[in-house]
Structure 1
Amino acid sequence: MQSVVAAVTMVRDDAFFLKAWLRHYGEMLGRENCYIVNHGRGEEVATLAEGCNVIGIPGDPHPNFDMKRWRLLNGVVAGLRSYYKHVIVGDVDELVVLDPEEGRGLVDYLAEQPLRRVLTPLGLEVIHRIDLEEQAIEGQILGPRRHVRLAPHYSKPCVLSLGTKIARGGHFTQASKLFTPDPLYLFHLKFCDFGTYVEAMDRRNAVTEEIGVGVKEAAIGRHWFAEARGEDRALFEGFAALPMQEGFDLAWVRKRMKRSWKARGETGYWQFDRPEYDQQYLLPERFSGLF
């Protein structure tokens, strides 16, 4: 039974993404090392997460939802660090992946990494090319989906072996040194399937409508609000226009992250520049079937 790595997330109703999260972390770490905050105490979440450590909390809508969420996740991570060498924390649609070229699993890789660090995997967004990929997702995601776009916003400091505070949204910490290992990636799944995206956005729009305040009055991501949604099919059709890049060498992105590393004003947090890159890559075949 491994005690090197734990994974933590919070989820409400997102069964599609929870299933992917459980396939990835449950099989790799062991369900006994997975910690799931069940926001709203949903029965489906509890059933799917059987064998994991499930923490049920009230699901009352609140304008400061994201602030409260990360306050709780910070506390859970701080506590688990006393029992694990590394704790992975993030949204349920975010998965830390080790490049299969390493020839070993994530647990073995992290067991050899120095402690008292925060690791920042390179963010990649899995996109559904609806003009090319007709197969519906019925289990594994990588394989039916092979296209990704660079997502600096999702290069998150999410693998922790150091006591530090994580900012709301998980995008920044107070750790002053940047470690972004070459073989580590953070895959964001929000856009991996058109039908799932529509269903998820409908649920999130309903939550913000129930809260009854606007974007400026709420500590919730702007993307949860109907006014920021746009037209779903046009969004996915637009992925085809992203210029396709040759190969899969992303060392240049990590170099830019390191060059732009700096304090985030007077907040106590640290950051790198997060420009928008209008380009896409075809994932090498070795990634197919990872989750």
Structure 2
Amino acid sequence: MNRAAALTMVRDDAFFLKAWLRHYGGLLGRENCYIVNHGRGEEVARLAEGCNLIGIPGDPHPNFDMKRWRLLNNLVQGLRCYYDHVIVGDVDELVVLDPARGETLAEFLGRTRGKRVLTPIGLEVIHRIDIEEVPIADAILGPRRFVRPAPHYSKPCILSTGTKIARGGHFTQFEKLIVPEGLYLLHLKYCDLGQYAQAMNRRNAVTAAVGAPPAEVSIGRHWFAEARGDDAVLFRGFADLPLQPGFDLSPVRAQMQDSWKPRGDTGFWQFDRPEMAVQYELPERFYGLI
């Protein structure tokens, strides 16, 4: 069986790190999990015991995203010397395979040939605070049952070839778009109102420490307090998204393929990423998957 590794970078996000470790540690083995511990946090080190931990300084920096993805890019290319596939992304992004495929993600990658980049369909797990009162404990899916399509998070994040990844992980210089059926990237940012508020408080603190406006830094604008708004209003708005029947994401996959093109003269490739103000209810087969 081909060997796969997972790579992320984290600072203080214990809730999301626990989910990341349950998922990839269980599927791939902790010995194949690589975590950049930004700021050398003691809790991160404790939770990630048995994984490969890389501690780096945590000083606030206006070019945070640029530095982060330069490091992750180089780590991916190094790990490729020893693994057939490397999954890379933020700690609140998890790649899953639809259980209807009848195999695990590790088994799927084990029979997937290399020299390619795989792009899962991005789905944001949303907390419907109007109807989902059960708190998250050992699993996120089940207590949370709804997702909205998020083309912005359909990231080329499983690599088995040498290619450059753009800042944020949204694009690569691999010329072919491969979107396997039933492969999804679940973005967990909105999976719980309380955890969202805590994470945003930490991010707002980071940008405040940097002390520069969004236009002058390489940090996502959503990290800044002025872009935040009212958390409860944001989450109540999820109930207004039209609920789609069934769980057929093939139109999303087709849209990605139909709009595939070079990203100007940057050397990167892209598909259109329209806003999709709809939601789906996950089939029960996904419950407990993460």
TM-score category of the 2 structures, normalised to the smaller one = over 0.9
Distance 1:3 1:181 in 2: 18
1:128–1:192: 8 Å Cα contact kept in structure 2? Answer: yes
Equivalence for 1:277: 276
Letter in 2 for 1:238: G
Distance 2:31 2:113 in 1: 24
Where 2:54 maps in the other structure, the secondary structure is strand
Letter in 2 for 1:275: P
Q: Please report the TM-score for the alignment, with normalisation by the length of structure 2.
A: 0.99
Equivalence for 2:38: 39
Gaps of 5+ in 2: none
Q: Please report the TM-score for the alignment, with normalisation by the length of structure 1.
A: 0.99
In the TM superposition, residue 114 of structure 1 has moved relative to its aligned partner by 2.2
TM-superposition CA deviations, 1:103-147 (whole Å, max 9, x none): 111111112112110000000000000000011112210000000
Distance 1:114 1:86 in 2: 9
TM-superposition CA deviations, 1:256-288 (whole Å, max 9, x none): 100000000011100000000110000000000
1:3–1:83: 8 Å Cα contact kept in structure 2? Answer: no
Equivalence for 2:267: 268
Residue correspondence of structure 1 range 1-291 to structure 2 within 5 A: 4-291=3-290
TM-superposition CA deviations, 1:144-202 (whole Å, max 9, x none): 00000000000000000010000000000000110000110000000000000000000
TM-superposition CA deviations, 1:57-89 (whole Å, max 9, x none): 000000000000000000100000011110000
1:133–1:144: 8 Å Cα contact kept in structure 2? Answer: yes
Letter in 2 for 1:36: I
1:157–1:173: 8 Å Cα contact kept in structure 2? Answer: yes
Where 1:169 maps in the other structure, the secondary structure is helix
User: Structure 1 runs of 4+ off > 6 angstroms?
Assistant: none
- Cα-Cα RMSD: 0.7
Gaps of 5+ in 1: none
Distance 2:267 2:281 in 1: 37
Distance 2:149 2:68 in 1: 26
Distance 1:200 1:262 in 2: 35
